[in-house]
Each structure stands twice: as structure tokens, then as C-alpha cells.
Structure 1
Amino acid sequence: MHPRQHLPAAALYLADEQYGILTTAQLRELGVTESVQRRLAKGWTKLERGIYSVDEPTWRTALTAGLIIAGPDAAATGLAAGWLHGMLGREPSRITISHDHDHALHERTILGRPITFRRLGRHGRGSPSRASVEDSLVDVAAEADELTLVGAVTRALGQRFTTAPRLAERFAGEQRAPPGPARKTLLVVGSRPRERPRVAVHHPCRTPPPPAPAGASGQPVAPHPFRWLVPRVRAGCRARRAGPR
């Protein structure tokens, strides 16, 4: 018997929305009796008590099961959210979920993946629910090594998921200080200017153009960084042009 047979259309739609997951409470609300649930569950993958996967389970299936356990205000964060946002190259083995419960939730292993629940107060968005890019990177800094953090930050800025000032502002308001190397990485990234002005620097052997008049769009010519060498270099240029005497 196919795992999806004899399920109402509403249950099939819900399973598609939840990456193949259905709970016994949801089935009960949809009118599926407990005897039918027990018969159908023989062809399903049990993830947790009252939580089943009616399709081939994946990484997102394990994540969604953790979100269901944590409640409606839960959100993936850290490396898991970083992968969902496209800031990591592969699925993380460990999943971190933020929740707002007053009591602690014990770590679970679903489909061979450890799932950790933390009271971080992250606001979820998207499907599966995940923290914002800035919150995710702050939590990546607390979970991962510096190399992983640098890669995630580089992709986030390169793909314009966020900006350096926004990331620096978010990091400055974080009470949980990440490890030293990660903290240094975020501070360096956050201190980058949004856009570096382009200043023309002319070769010392060439006559620089006159300064741009007031109100013109051209950039003023910056002094050569080794201007103390300019007279000597120009003298050498004149000697080479004159040739041997």
C-alpha cells in the first residue's frame, strides 16, 4: 500500500507544505480516525511520538519535525538557517532551532541529525521557518569555526543578502558574545565602508591634469603616495627621453 493512499486531499496538501510530515493531531483534526492512522502508519517513517513522514525523508524533513516540536514561533538559526539562506555550501549535520518556551527542550536526534533547541527569540520567516540573515550569522559565529563564518559572511555580502553596516549593527546589539576569532571577523567585516570612493592617482612621469573646477563631477587628483620621490623620478624620465649624450 502506498503511504499516501486513503489520505484526504487536505492531508496530502498539508504533507506537501511540511516536506512530507503529518502529525496525529493534524490527522485527527482532518477527520482521520485513530484506527485508520494506525493502519496507515505501518507504511510511514516515525520521526517522533505522533510525528510521521509519509514521503522519503530528507534533511528538511528532520528540520521541519524539530520546528513542529518547538512550536509555532520556532525558527531555524545558526548553520541550519545559513544553509537555507544560501550562505553555506552544504547541509549542516547539526540543526539549531530557536524557541520561545518558558521551559527547556531537550536535544533530540531525528533521522540521524542532532537537533538543539535554544531560547534565542529569533523571528522566523520563509518555509521552513528560519531566522533573518543577520541573526543567522550571529548564531553561526557562536557555532562554527572562523573559516566557516568567513565563508558565510562573504556569501551574504557578495549576494547582497545583507550589508556590512546592518551586520555590524546587529552584532553590536548581541548580548551573547561569540568566540574571539569569530568576534574579530565580524568586527572587521562590520567596519568596512559601504562604498570606497575611487580616486585617480597619476603616474609621476606624466603631467597631471588641472584640478577639477568647483561643481564638476570629476574627482580631484590625489597626491602621489610617494610624492617625495616624484622629482627624482621625473628627472630620470627626462634623462631617458634625452638619450645618451
Structure 2
Amino acid sequence: MRHAQTVTPALRRLAAAQAGVLTTRQLEAHGITRHGLARLARDWQRVGNGLYLTGPAAWESAAWAGLLRGGSSAVLGAEGAAYLHGAMRDAPGVLRVWARHRHDDLTVGEFQVRFLRGVRTGRGHLPRTTLEESLLDISDHSTEDEAVAAVTGALALGRTTGPRLLAELDGRHRVRHSATLRLLCSAAARGIESALEWRFQQRVLTPHHLPVPDRQVQRSAGRVDVLYDRESLVIELDGMRDHSVWSKDMMRDNEHLLVDGLITLRYGWYAVERAPCEVALQVAQALRSRGWPGPAATCRRRPRDLPCQVSPGVPGRT
């Protein structure tokens, strides 16, 4: 900070503890007069009424700005809280803060702070809602895929459990996508770690009565998303990847084949979302060619002019 002669060491420590954010009230409590603040503010950024950012804008700066603006009862929720709990890899660009009173939204650097009216219990140096509360709050304002991604990620990382999430769900009157969340917490969904894997289960396997696979299985060449061990079939479900990752994936597929005799089928979002019946047909053909008695069943999702091409029949092994 410039004008260091007017800024006490205690105030510097406070600013550092709050990621560079200070309130007018805090500045006054440390002896900064209105005239002194006017001089200091030339080098600072005013991010809200009575809020100043004394250094570069970071994610934590946005979090502190929201908490300080929200008052003593304010807590971080939703994606921001899930990130602090270690259940999300990337810091969210939008932070949601629960506060007793309504406040105008803030912009801190590239981050947006939005306020939700309500009282929640917080914990931690940056007070945040519990992870289970946070995941349900995410579901309330998200698409199904976004909610699934948040919940499956938290479950896969071991940050929460199905029973804990269900207990929180049972305590709420209404939660968006609640039926999906309950399925994600069931034994049938164990091992699903992404929204794409959930879509594959719901759009490809279940409606076509294909066998239930093992998931997230460790093999000599690495972990695989879906494994039909008896039929020596691996299915990998890929999001957006760079070329170096694709190269590693191809090497791993080759090793699966050469070392373990496993064939690999790969599908991305477009195939699972736009052509689930065609994907099911390929999976069924691969399973049958390697000993699965089958047959699979047609699904009821396709319109009459685009009939499902998966061979009709009774459900196979589950």
C-alpha cells in the first residue's frame, strides 16, 4: 500500500487476512480519517458501498467482499462453499452469499458476488454452509447436468456420502432435481463420477436393458470408467480433452488390448445425448460378440419415424 505512514501494521495484517478487502468501518477503527481514506482510495478499488480492495482481485477477495458486505451472519453457499470444502476443482466465477438482508450484487475483478436472503449457519475461516447444504443449493439453481456433476464429484472425492446427502434432502421441503439426487445416492449409481456417466446410464444402459457394468475399475493400464469383465469390454466416456490427453488415452487403450485382451469403446457427449440408441446398439453388438447371451430391448424414447435399432427381446443379465 502507498501512504504507509497512515496505515498501521495491525491494519495491514487485517487486510492480508481478508484478501485485501477492508470496510470503511474497519478503516475508521484503525484511525483512518475521511481525509486519509480519500488519499488512500486513489490507489485502491472501491468494490461496493463501504468496501475497498487494497490489492489485486483474487477469488478470496470476492469471497471476503461478499461476507463483509453481507454482515456478521453472512456465509458463503452453493459452488463457493463446495469449492472451499474441496469438492470442486475450480474456483467458481459466481459466488453466492447467504445474508440476513438483501444486498446489491458485487463485481470484484472477474468474479460476481450474488446475495441470497436467508440465515444459514456457517463454519470455517471463510464461513460457509455445510457441503450437503451447498450441493442442494447448487441443484436448486442449476440444470440437471450441473447438479449431477457437483454431486457425483463430491461423492467420488469422498467429501460426503449418499446417506448424509439424503438426510439433508429429507430435511428440506422442496429441492430441484430431488428425484435425480436420490438416484445418485442409491447403490445402482455407485461409481458414477460425472454427468456424462450419469447420462450414459440413464439414456443408454437403463432404457435398453443392457447389463449393469462395474465402474471405476483399476486395471494394469489404469482406471476405466465402465467394465464388462466377463466380456472383456471397456467403455470410456470422454468430455473435452486436449491432444496430449487423447494420445495417453490411445496408448492406454492399446495396452488394455495387448495385455488384458480388453477392447475399448469410447463415447462423448454428442453420442450419448444425440444418439443413445446407436450407442446402445454398438454396446450390445460388442457384448454379444464376446459371449453375452442378450438380447437387449428397444427403448421407448425414439419417435415412430426414428425407431430404436437395438434388437428387441427380453432384458439381459443385470
Q: Identify whether the pair has TM-score above 0.5, normalized to the shorter chain.
A: yes
Structure 2 residue 187 is the aligned partner of structure 1 residue 188: no
CA 192–123 in structure 1, closer or farther in 2 if over 3 Å, else same? farther
Q: Unpaired segments of 5 or more residues in structure 1?
A: 196-245
Quote the offset at 1:5 in angstroms: 2.1
Contact 1:134/1:162 (8 A) holds in 2: yes
Q: Secondary structure at the match of 2:32?
A: coil
**2:124 matched to which residue of 1?**
126
**2:4 matched to which residue of 1?**
5
**2:70 matched to which residue of 1?**
70
State how 1:107-146 maps to structure 2 within 5 Å: 107-146=105-144
CA 99–176 in structure 1, closer or farther in 2 if over 3 Å, else same? farther
CA 154–96 in structure 1, closer or farther in 2 if over 3 Å, else same? same
Contact 1:107/1:116 (8 A) holds in 2: yes
Quote the offset at 1:112 in angstroms: 4.5
Q: Secondary structure at the match of 1:86?
A: coil
Q: Which has the higher contact order (CA 8 A, sep 6+)?
A: 1
CA 108–56 in structure 1, closer or farther in 2 if over 3 Å, else same? closer
State how 1:1-245 maps to structure 2 within 5 Å: 2-3=1-2, 5-6=4-5, 7-101=7-101, 104-178=102-176, 182-192=177-187
- Structure 2 distance, partners of 1:107, 1:172, is 31
Q: Percent of counterpart pairs with the same letter?
A: 32
**1:217 matched to which residue of 2?**
none
- Structure 2 distance, partners of 1:40, 1:105, is 26
Further displaced range: 147-156 or 55-64: 147-156
* RMSD, aligned α-carbons: 2.4
Q: Secondary structure at the match of 1:151?
A: helix
- Structure 1 distance, partners of 2:44, 2:158, is 41
1:168-193 Cα deviation digits (max 9, x unpaired): 01011112421xxx323311133339
- Structure 2 distance, partners of 1:36, 1:4, is 9
- Structure 1 distance, partners of 2:20, 2:108, is 14
- Structure 1 distance, partners of 2:61, 2:113, is 12
- Structure 2 distance, partners of 1:99, 1:40, is 29
Quote the offset at 1:99 in angstroms: 1.4
Q: Secondary structure at the match of 2:113?
A: strand
Contact 2:44/2:55 (8 A) holds in 1: yes
Q: Secondary structure at the match of 1:52?
A: strand
Quote the offset at 1:151 in angstroms: 2.5
CA 100–192 in structure 1, closer or farther in 2 if over 3 Å, else same? farther
Q: Relative to total residues, which structure has the larger strand share, 1 or 2?
A: 2
- Structure 2 distance, partners of 1:173, 1:119, is 19
1:76-117 Cα deviation digits (max 9, x unpaired): 11122122222223222222111123xx33334343533221
Contact 1:82/1:140 (8 A) holds in 2: no
TM-score normalized by structure 1? 0.70
- Structure 1 distance, partners of 2:140, 2:89, is 18
**1:210 matched to which residue of 2?**
none
Quote the offset at 1:3 in angstroms: 3.6
Contact 1:82/1:136 (8 A) holds in 2: yes
What is the identity, as a one-letter code, of the residue corresponding to 1:119?
R
**2:316 matched to which residue of 1?**
none
Q: Secondary structure at the match of 1:122?
A: coil
- Structure 1 distance, partners of 2:2, 2:129, is 33
Quote the offset at 1:71 in angstroms: 0.6
What is the identity, as a one-letter code, of the residue corresponding to 1:192?
A
Q: Unpaired segments of 5 or more residues in structure 2?
A: 191-318
**1:208 matched to which residue of 2?**
none
CA 4–160 in structure 1, closer or farther in 2 if over 3 Å, else same? farther
CA 176–108 in structure 1, closer or farther in 2 if over 3 Å, else same? farther
Quote the offset at 1:4 in angstroms: 7.0
1:14-39 Cα deviation digits (max 9, x unpaired): 11111111112101111122222211
CA 83–4 in structure 1, closer or farther in 2 if over 3 Å, else same? farther
Greater radius of gyration (CA):
1
